[in-house]
Amino acid sequence: MISLQHVTKTYKNDVTALDDVSIEIEKGEFVFLVGPSGSGKSSSLRLLLREEEPSHGEVFVAGKNLAKLSAWSGVPKLRRNLGTVFQDFKLLPDKTVFENVSFALEVIGKAKHVIDHRVPEILEYVGLGEKLNNYPDELSGGEQQRVSIARACVNRPLVLLADEPTGNLDPNTSVDIMRLLDKVNKIGTTVVMATHDQAIVDAMRKRVIELDRGKVVRDQSRGVYS
Amino acid sequence: MRVEYYFRETASGMRRNGTIAFGAVMTAFIALFLFGLALLIRREIALVIESITGNVQVQVYVDDNADVQTIDQIHSILTQLPAVANADFEDKAAACARAAQIFQSNPTIIENTTCDTWPRSFRVTLADTSQYAQIPAALGCEPDANKQLQCTQPGVTTVRDWRDVLDRLSAITTAVSLGLFGLSVIMLISAVVLVSNTLRMGMFARRKEISIMRLVGATNWRIRVPFLIEGGSEALLGAALAIVTLFLGKVFVVDQLAGKIVWLPLVRNSDVLSVLPWVFVAAIFVAAVAGTVGMRRYLDV
């Protein structure tokens, strides 16, 4: 599903974020990317989203070589297959829960009947069936993250990329969010999650890829944080 | 759904950006108005030149009593001169029709004249304008006390040399149009800058939406089209205002002059109409350039 082959990413200021990294992730896997700040976790996610391109090496997602995608149609198509969740939720404050989720379908041209069917369905799935008409600032942090997971999943992506999804949440709420991500993974979505959260990694016992200064230093199935 | 989406986005963008969008529309309006005005003033000067000189360099007037043979003779004298490129005879009907066309906006002139008023003439184009003197010489013309040429050639009443007037009027036309076009070009550039600025402000205000759109896989077109429509509507709104103002100016300024300055031919509604497509072309140009400039390097995936 995801393949990084000898990927090196060097930024203009000569900082090397990734140094000859090769990673293979199968369909349906749940993978933690761990490591200290600046170890290359976020750079890896940006490469998968093709927000950046590698300096050397190749990145494949769902069988597609990202270097060969055209900016006008290939990249948008790629991103429709990738759901993304962030530490800061990235919700639109002037839109309701329903509108925040439907926005993701609307801007890729989905028909109204599809939106009216799928949005309540996914919001029910993440446990926000009662809060369709609330605004983000009326929700707790955990609920806001659920909205953003709903938005990431409403188009039924093959892969869910999560960048520190529990970074702003207290431990109990974090556990709830992890249960939800696990649920999303169980229905076949490949999940790649970058995190600092040792307790969560240790509790989940999933595959752990540890990065340090741009290199893979550990790749362990059913691993722990360190 | 798609069309509705674009227009909803555009409308909300313009509302959010109200005052800036207003500034852009007004600048586009003034720029396009000046542009249209420049075109109309050019047309007006062309009409004046035509009414004064008939757009020829030299006119040889023919006596009302001259018969066909006399006229043929004058024609052959003229065409044999090396300085003459062309000598077209214009009879009373043609002279009358041309006058009617020129003074269309000033019906008093036409009403108070009959077709018999307009003299017959040869309209002469010179091959070499410096050799004008050949014509009065060949027709035996001498200036009288009033500097009017009196000619000995039968059938010729007088010869008018329009070169000087034509040259001076053309110089005025060129200066006035260059000035006005220069001004309208500056204004058009300001309009482009303002419209593209509005687009950028709009994109900045919605950078969060845009980043999410890119993240969930919206195409570049999907993201840009609302802004392009926004720029386009601002330019076209400016064009509409400019056109309305040009017509109002025609009705309340130009039409009031009609009849007051009898000799002055005035632009007609059809002249204003013929300017409209160019105003729209300029508006589309403003929108296209503003769109290209405003979008550049901002919205790449």
Residue carrying structure tokens 């329009």: B162
Q: Are residues B288 and B180 in the same domain?
A: yes
Domain boundary among B129, B161, B193: B161
Same domain as B275, residue B179: yes
Phi, psi of B235 (to 5 degrees): -65, -40
Residues of A with CB under 8 A from a CB of B: 49-50, 71-73, 75-82, 84, 90, 92, 103-104, 106-109, 111-112, 151, 155
B25 with B108, same domain: the answer is no
Residue B276 pLDDT > 60: yes
What pLDDT, on a 0 to 100 scale, did the predictor assign at position B301?
A: 43
Cβ–Cβ < 8 Å for B114, B107? no
Q: Is residue B204 part of a domain?
A: yes
Residues B151 and B172 in one domain: no
Q: Which residues of B touch A71 (CB under 8 A)?
A: 220, 300-301
E strand spans, chain A? 2-10, 16-25, 30-34, 56-61, 64-65, 82-86, 159-163, 190-195, 207-212, 215-220
Regarding whether B205 and B73 lie in a shared domain, the answer is no
Picking from A181, A104, A89, the residue whose alpha carbon sits closest to that of residue A135 is A89
Say if residue B217 is in the same domain as residue B174: yes
Helix (H, G, I), strand (E, B) or coil at B125: strand
Q: B132 and B74: one domain?
A: yes
**Residue B101 and residue B71 in one domain:** yes
Per-residue pLDDT of chain A (226 residues; tens, 9 = 90+): 999 999 999 998 888 999 999 999 999 999 999 999 889 999 999 999 999 999 999 999 998 999 999 888 899 999 999 999 999 999 999 999 999 999 999 999 899 999 999 999 999 999 999 999 999 999 999 999 999 999 999 999 999 999 999 999 999 999 999 999 999 999 999 999 999 899 999 999 999 999 999 999 999 988 888 7
Domain match, B171 and B285 both: yes
In-domain check, residue B145: yes
Asked if the structure places residue B128 within a domain, the reply is: yes
Query: Quick one: B175 and B34 in the same domain?
Result: yes
Within 8 A of B217 by CB-CB distance, chain A residues are 75-82, 108, 155
Q: How many CB atoms lie within 10 A of CB B96?
A: 18
In chain A, what are the domain boundaries?
91-156
How far does the CA of residue B25 sit from the closest CA of chain A (Å)?
A: 28
Q: How far is A96 from A78, CA to CA, in rounded Å?
A: 27
Q: Compute the distance between CA of residue A54 and CA of residue A6 in angstroms, rounded to an integer.
A: 10
Range of B114's domain?
Answer: 55-161
* pLDDT tens for each residue of A178-216: 999 999 999 999 999 999 899 999 999 999 999 999 999
- Does B94 reside within a domain? yes
Q: Do residue A79 and residue B214 have CB atoms under 8 angstroms apart?
A: yes
Report the C-alpha gap between B193 and B186 in whole angstroms. Answer: 11
Pick from B213, B216, B221, B300 the residue to mutate for testing the A interface (most A CBs within 10 Å): B216
Domain shared by B143 and B234, yes or no: no
Measured distance CA(B167)–CA(B81) in Å, rounded: 23
- For residue B300, tell me if it sits in a domain: no
Domain assignment of residue B301, yes or no? no
pTM of the predicted model, to two decimals?
0.72
* Count of A-B CB contacts under 8 Å: 57
CA nearest to A140, candidates A108, A107, A174, A117? A174
| Nearest-angstrom CA–CA distance, A120 and A104 | 14
User: A183 by DSSP, 3-state: which?
Assistant: helix
- Split at pLDDT 50, 70, 90, the class of B137 is confident
Q: What is the tally of structural domains in chain B?
A: 2
Nearest residue on chain B to A49, judged by CA atoms? B215
Test A72 with B213 for CB contact under 8 angstroms: no
Any domain includes B88: yes
Of B2, B211, B212, the CB nearest to A103: B212
Distance CA A105, CA A99 (A): 10
Contact A107 B208 (CB under 8 A): no
| pLDDT attached to residue B89 | 83
